[in-house]
Amino acid sequence: MKLTEYIREKDVLELWPLSKATLIRARKKGLPFVRLGAYVCYRPEDLETFFCKPRSWKSEATESKEGNQDDQK
């Protein structure tokens, strides 16, 4: 494991518009992380995968609206 493969939590908070509480909740929900000494570190690709995936409630709402429009035509 190389340290260069990981980004510290402190640096994530500077680069991404997230709060520390959001990262803690994400870790509880399954965001992979590694503790390196006193630091909590993340892989950049794990952060992108976890936070850039579409939310299920948004996709369901979009599908239901499209279905209703087809029924009205």
How do strand 39-42 and strand 34-36 relate by DSSP bridges? Answer: antiparallel
Q: Find tokens 């939590």 and name the residue.
A: 9
Question: Can you point out the beta strands (E) in 1-73?
Answer: 7-8, 34-36, 39-42
Sheet holding 7-8, edge to edge: 7-8, 39-42, 34-36
Is the pTM here over 0.85, yes or no?
Answer: no
Give 45-69 pLDDT, tens digit per residue: 999 889 887 766 655 555 555 556 5
Q: How many separate domains does the chain show?
A: 1
Give 6-53 pLDDT, tens digit per residue: 999 999 999 888 899 999 999 999 999 999 899 999 999 999 889 887
- Structural domain that includes position 40: 3-72
